[in-house]
Amino acid sequence: MQKQKCVISFLMLVLGFILLYSCEKVTLIPPPIVIGVDSIRFSADIKPIFSICKDCHPALHQPDLSTNPYKSLTDGGYIDIALPSQSKFYVHVTNGGSHKQVSPVEKLKIIQWITQGAKNN
């Protein structure tokens, strides 16, 4: 009787290992973000991010992100191309608070855009 329990336990253990190792592992790898000359464009990549900001930053609240966001960011001193990670715009977006709606990918695009010279392209 004891021998049968040992054999059954052993077979269940072997079956468990077979089941564990027979599962297919799938790893999803996000597409790479290309960093190159002008790979991030203001009109296509940065300006759409402001759709979630316009309620808090209308024309009367600086920076004005509703009518001319590029001019407001650059003329208002919110962009520092010499020290992109210290730009008021980038620091403001990455500090959380109401900016939790800005995704990590969008934050990466913002810092890349500033690093590329913050062009109005």
Between the CA atoms of 37, 73, 67 and 108, what dihedral angle is there, to the nearest 10 degrees? 50
**pLDDT at residue 98, rounded to an integer:** 58
Question: What single-letter amino acid sits at 60?
Answer: L
113 C-beta neighbours (distance < 10 Å), count: 25
Mean pLDDT is highest, among 20-24, 33-37, 58-62, 83-87, for: 83-87
- Provide the pLDDT confidence category of residue 92 given band limits of 50, 70 and 90: confident
Q: Is 67 or 36 the better-scoring residue by pLDDT?
A: 67
On whether the CB atoms of residues 56 and 50 are closer than 8 A, the answer is: no
Distance CA 29, CA 115 (A): 25
Q: Is 26 or 113 the better-scoring residue by pLDDT?
A: 113
Task: Judge if pTM exceeds 0.75.
Answer: no
Question: What single-letter amino acid sits at 4?
Answer: Q
Question: Among 61-70, 76-85, 93-102, whose mean pLDDT is lowest?
Answer: 93-102
**pLDDT at residue 51, rounded to an integer:** 72
Percent helix, strand and coil across the chain, each to the nearest 5: 55, 0, 45
> Could you tell me the two tokens for 15?
């079956």
